């Protein structure tokens, strides 16, 4: 019984990552760009955003990029923009990967930085997706892009 409760508590804590903070103040963070500059993320009114937290050595992250690319047009029709948030240490490999695959959504990198968004959101598992509105309010968070698509398409 104790093992079952321990497992349930672990699963609950995994599920609840990201739920402790109801709003993401993106304007408080600076990110590296593929163009080797630094910038802040600016949210446009009347849009929603999927924040995709990932890194190159995460095979499910890289696999999901193909799924994101496949669905990017339908998301844009729904006024949902995808923003990649890489935590890769090696920025050159990150840039090379993005240029090689020519993905059409905006991608940022923040391996080190103060404040650090990944740490502030207490992200421990990857990939990690946050659906937010134009004010940064968290609507949904999950480790599955497929589940996030289901939520976007059905509300469930």
pTM over 0.75: yes
The secondary structure of 75-123 as a DSSP string is HHHTTEEEEEEE--S-HHHHHHHHHHHT-SSEEEE-SS-SS-HHHHTT-
Q: How many CB atoms lie within 10 A of CB 1?
A: 5
Distance CA(1)–CA(85), nearest Å, equals 39
pLDDT at res. 155: 87
What is the band of 156 on the pLDDT scale with cuts at 50, 70, 90? confident
The secondary structure of 63-75 as a DSSP string is HHHHHHHHHHHHH
Q: Are 113 and 134 in contact (CB under 8 A)?
A: no
**pLDDT average, residue stretch 7-26:** 53
The answer on pLDDT for 12 being more than 60 is no
**Architecture of the domain spanning 2-154:** 3-Layer(aba) Sandwich (3.40)
The answer on pLDDT for 23 being more than 60 is yes
pLDDT at res. 8: 34
Closest CA to 89 of 113, 67, 71: 113
Distance CA(116)–CA(2), nearest Å, equals 36
Per-residue model confidence as pLDDT tens digits over 125-150: 999 999 999 999 999 999 999 999 99
pLDDT at res. 5: 38
pLDDT at res. 82: 98
Point out which residues pair with 152 in neighbouring strands.
Answer: none
């Amino acid at each position: 019984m104790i093992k079952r409760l321990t497992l349930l508590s672990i699963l609950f804590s995994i599920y609840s990552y990201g739920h402790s903070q109801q709003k993401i103040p993106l304007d408080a963070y600076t990110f590296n760009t593929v163009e080797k500059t630094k910038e802040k993320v600016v949210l446009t009114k009347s849009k929603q955003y999927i924040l995709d937290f990932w890194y190159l050595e995460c095979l499910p992250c890289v696999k999901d990029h193909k799924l994101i690319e496949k669905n990017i047009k339908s998301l844009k029709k729904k006024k949902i923009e995808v923003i990649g948030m890489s935590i890769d240490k090696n920025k050159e490999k990150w840039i090379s990967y993005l240029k090689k695959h020519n993905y059409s959504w905006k991608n940022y990198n923040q391996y080190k930085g103060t404040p650090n968004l990944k740490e502030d959101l207490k992200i421990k598992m990857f990939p990690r997706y946050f659906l937010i509105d134009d004010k940064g309010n968290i609507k949904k968070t999950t480790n599955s892009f497929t589940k996030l698509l289901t939520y976007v398409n059905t509300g469930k």
